[in-house]
Amino acid sequence: MNKCFLVGNLTRDPEHSTTANGFSICRFSIAVNRSYSNSNGEREVDFINVVTWRGLADNCGKYLVKGNKVAVSGSIQTRNYEDKDGNKRYATEVVADDVEFLTPKGEGAVAGPARTNSSGSKPVMELEPVDDSELPF
């Protein structure tokens, strides 16, 4: 069985885009505290990459911002690819089945500056204040 449950905070704004086949995809990473302390008494943090698809990707791209707390359930996926120099690279990420938005309304930054796509060129969407009744959580 391949199932994981994580609770953490977004380390950066999500990257929302559409594949060549027309599917929505949203990528983000979350910081997850370990349940134990190291030898210095400090709790270490793991940074986990998360991928969402279709409608869930649209909602994550629209409503999540850096710092929001989320609960993610999904499966762990590994893949490999060759980089531009021909080196074999590996990636491990969580493919989310469900993302629960845990940051209370009003505490998350729903409105803010326009986000840009991964190349930093044109804005992906302009965020404006929305009526709370429109939010899916």
The 10s digit of each residue's pLDDT in 12-33 is 999 999 999 999 999 999 999 9
Assess whether pLDDT exceeds 80 at residue 35.
yes
CA distance 68 to 19: 25
- Indicate the burial class of 30 (C-beta count within 10 angstroms; 0-12, 13-18, 19 or more): buried
CB 10 within 8 A of CB 70: yes
Architecture of domain 4-109: Beta Barrel (2.40)
Question: Is residue 68 classed as helix, strand or coil in its secondary structure?
Answer: coil
CA distance 130 to 44: 36
pLDDT range class, residue 78, cuts 50, 70, 90: very high
Which pLDDT score is estimated for 119?
43
Q: Which of 10-24, 31-45, 106-120 has the lowest mean pLDDT?
A: 106-120
Domain boundaries, the chain: 4-109
Kindly report the CA angle at 46 between 70 and 57, in degrees rounded to 5?
A: 35
pLDDT range class, residue 115, cuts 50, 70, 90: very low
Encoding tokens for residue 44?
A: 């270490």
Which pLDDT score is estimated for 114?
36
CA distance 128 to 40: 44
Question: What φ, ψ does residue 28 adopt, rounded to 5°?
Answer: -155, 170
